[in-house]
Amino acid sequence: MLPTFVIGLREGLEAALIVGIIASFLAQQGRRDALKKVWLGVAIAVAICVAVGVGLQIYSSDLPQKQQEQLETVIGAIAVVMVSYMVLWMKRHSRDLRKDLEGAAGRALTEGSASALVLMAFLAVLREGFETSVFLLATFNESDNPAYGGTGAALGVVLAAVIGYGIYRGGVRINLSRFFRVTGLVLILVAAGLVATALMTAVEGGWLEQGTRAFDLSWLVRPGTPTSSVATGVLGIQPYPDWTMVTGWLVYAIPMAAVVLWPARARKAPAPQPAA
């Protein structure tokens, strides 16, 4: 439940922040007509993402076992790429996200059109929703209890919506840089587990050769126990990992965690222009 909760919270809050900032800016400018289009675009984007997630799940369930393993490998690889890009992008932009979005919104309204803001909100929700669908699907594939995973994702999205609404109304203040750093580190560990799982399914799908067993962790990863849920669900640890899985986990997790935890440098202020 923890991985899907963090995914739902993280991705949901990113989309809620972007949409909330755009909606707040439009409300301040008195553009209620454009605000209605923003909510319509958000609803359409959510519907598309849900349809994509359901379609992928139905398609994968009808495949033979070997093809299922291959599809799970592809989905896991895509999820790792998406979460890596998302974590690195937010590390770079979380400090100045509101200022950058309000600047873009102001330029769009100055040009006399709010369509760019509607499209911006639609694409933000579509991107985050698609990332969430792929990431959750990859996480569900290695979960023993999809119901718990779905509950965690739903709770994360609901909490993200509540926090986003509170920020939109001005009643909630949150250190975005610290929040995205902490959740980014958790997602890096989850993604490292997806790397190891993708390597395992690649072996089962016939794309890689079975490596030498590295450890016997059956004493730790016992199906049905809380320890197994954390070890497998969060960290992707299997009872009998081979050296290919261990190497993939370490090669991904160590440098990505170092990048996320490295202190961000503040942007340099532009040099003042000389007076005419």
Report CA-CA distances (Å) from 257 to 31, 37, 139, 189. Answer: 42, 39, 20, 8
Give the residue ranges of the chain where pLDDT is below 50.
269, 276
In a domain, 10, yes or no: yes
The residue among 174, 37, 29, 25 whose CA lies nearest residue 94 is 174
Instruction: Please tell me the predicted confidence (pLDDT) of residue 252.
Output: 95
Asked if residue 249 belongs to a domain, the reply is yes
Q: Quick check: is 191 in a domain?
A: yes
> Is residue 271 assigned to a domain?
no
Asked if residue 232 belongs to a domain, the reply is: yes
Q: Which range marks the domain in which residue 87 is found?
A: 2-261
Q: How confident is the model at residue 173, as a pLDDT?
A: 66
- Number of neighbours of residue 72 by Cβ within 10 angstroms: 25
pLDDT for res 161:
81
Q: Quickly count: other Cβ atoms within 10 Å of residue 216's Cβ.
A: 11
* Separation CA 179–CA 68 (nearest Å): 36
Q: Is residue 99 part of a domain?
A: yes
This prediction's pTM: 0.74
Q: How far apart are CA 217 and CA 239, in angstroms?
A: 5
Provide the number of structural domains found in the chain: 1
pLDDT of residue 276: 46
Rg (the chain; Cα; Å): 21
Domain annotation covers residue 275: no
